[in-house]
Amino acid sequence: MASSLLSLTSKPPSITRLRHQRPPLTTVRVSAATVTTTTGMPDHHHPSLEITGGGADRFLPAFNTIHLPYKPFPIIGWNRHLETIFAAFFRTVPEVKYRRECLRTQDNGTIALDWVYGDHRSLPSDSPILILLPGLTGGSQDSYVKHMLVKAKSKGWRVVVFNSRGCANSPVTTPQLQTASFTADTCHVVDHVSSRYPKASIYAVGWSLGGNILVNYLGREHHRCSLSGAVSLCNPFNLVIADENLRKGFNNIYDRALRGGLSRTFDKHASLFEEMHDEYNVQAGLNPRTVREYDEAITRVSLGYKSVDEYYSNSCSCHVVQHVRIPLLCIQAANDPIAPIEATPYSDIKDNPNCMLIVTPQGGHLGWVAGDDAPFGAPWTDNVVIEFLEHLQKNASKPESS
């Protein structure tokens, strides 16, 4: 399967299978003609958006795109599996030339940052910066990452892709690969970028597991977070629910694709794990039957968890949304087969004045084949994301007196 599909995978006191059921919230309905407020459960079959969150009223002026109806591309956008697979295999991949920078972490690990080649010479030092966090085993080579990069670059932004350990052919120097709950690397990257460009405002966008990592960082490290705003897309939020969902029916095809990507990455660096005296099950990591089996054999061991269930439970970004202290836009698809909508923490997003949630009726996972660029171009979400970020940057650039 294409690498675009490879994008899933405060500690609560115990393992939880709590489902974030959508209560009868007050939500904003956006259509072509009007913006109204309604109360009740959303109608996912209507081509409009569900918008909620404590910061919704504050951020709505940022958008032009969401005042138009969401129109999925015919046939492709009508089925969540077809849309997910189509976007993974047939979406165009823009040409982007990178300049790689490798960072060494305190535990002797390595992080690869891919900057757009030439921007360090052509852009002013105070240009706004966008850090991109791809999904599970994803990286700077993925189409959805490059489309967002091109969009931001066209607006004069400096963009850098944060490739997690082992992703995008980055070097691996310790027995640890990408995980859902390890925020130290994100802290390291944000601090490095901030020190390198002290005059610039810094923002971040994360997809799927990258969205989960980003929101975990925002919530757990809110006391030291130096980002000015962030966007999370198709975030699984609750990995316990996502794990259960991934093993149901047709979703098994995604599970096979994901575990295939994990095992291929692990195979390149298995020798590092063979030398360890921990509980690593190297053979299971090389030939896992499911993502869950891989995480039991490798991921949870690297983080010191006693079981894969403990790892999933303690890696849920839904537990920390309440602690986010900067503007955060979350975009989810109601029919996402990998990041199920019932895992979305509606109540915490609604109660947090810094958060806003947009739910599209269709979109699949990393699909959103809709809008003027459909079916082969950029996903519908790119314009929404850049409008939000440009709004934040514009307000951040205003004189204090205004």
Domain around 348: 50-238+316-395
Q: Are 222 and 325 in contact (CB under 8 A)?
A: yes
Q: Is 232 a catalytic residue?
A: no
- Structurally, how many domains does the chain consist of? 2
Q: What percent of the chain has pLDDT over 70?
A: 87
Q: Are residues 149 and 191 in the same domain?
A: yes
Please report whether residue 210 resides in a domain. Answer: yes
Q: Are residues 326 and 290 in the same domain?
A: no
Q: Are residues 363 and 350 in the same domain?
A: yes
Q: Is 126 a catalytic residue?
A: no
pLDDT of 397: 67
- Which CATH number do you get for residue 98? 3.40.50.1820
Q: Are 334 and 46 in contact (CB under 8 A)?
A: no
Q: Which of 283, 315, 347 is the last residue of a domain?
A: 315
38: phi then psi, degrees, rounded to nearest 5: -130, 160
Coil vs helix vs strand at 217:
helix
Tens of pLDDT, residue by residue over 172-192, are 999 999 999 899 999 999 999
Q: Which of 291, 315, 339 is the last residue of a domain?
A: 315
Residue 229: in which H helix or E strand, if any? strand 229-233
Please report whether residue 22 resides in a domain. Answer: no
Q: Are residues 130 and 189 in the same domain?
A: yes
Q: Are residues 288 and 182 in the same domain?
A: no
Spatial distance between the Cα atoms of 81 and 72, rounded to a whole number of angstroms:
13
pLDDT of 175: 94
Catalytic one of 3, 4, 181, 208? 208
Q: Are residues 303 and 322 in the same domain?
A: no
E-strand stretches of 259-365: 328-333, 355-360
Q: Are residues 227 and 343 in the same domain?
A: yes
Cα–Cα–Cα angle for 81, 255, 287, rounded to 5 degrees: 150
Structure-token pair, residue 192: 């490095």
pLDDT of 7: 43
DSSP labels, 50-117: EEE-TTHHHHGGG-SGGGS---BPTTGGGSHHHHHHHHHHHS------EEEEEEE-TTS-EEEEEEET
Q: Are residues 153 and 96 in the same domain?
A: yes
Q: Are residues 146 and 229 in the same domain?
A: yes
Q: Are 263 and 162 in contact (CB under 8 A)?
A: no
Catalytic one of 20, 147, 269, 365? 365
Size of the chain, expressed as the number of residues it contains: 402
Q: Within 13 A of 166's CA, how many CA atoms are on the CB side?
A: 21
Q: Which of 265, 290, 315 is the last residue of a domain?
A: 315
Q: Is 365 a catalytic residue?
A: yes
Please report whether residue 378 resides in a domain. Answer: yes
Sign of CA dihedral 89, 95, 96, 97: positive
Please report whether residue 118 resides in a domain. Answer: yes
Please report whether residue 6 resides in a domain. Answer: no
Catalytic one of 336, 348, 373, 382? 336
Q: Are residues 166 and 307 in the same domain?
A: no
Please report whether residue 4 resides in a domain. Answer: no
Q: Are residues 233 and 295 in the same domain?
A: no
Q: Are residues 266 and 170 in the same domain?
A: no
Query: What is the pTM for the complete model shown?
Result: 0.89
Please report whether residue 41 resides in a domain. Answer: no
Residue ranges of the chain whose pLDDT lies below 50? 1-2, 6-19, 23-47, 399-402
Please report whether residue 188 resides in a domain. Answer: yes
Structure-token pair, residue 146: 């490059």
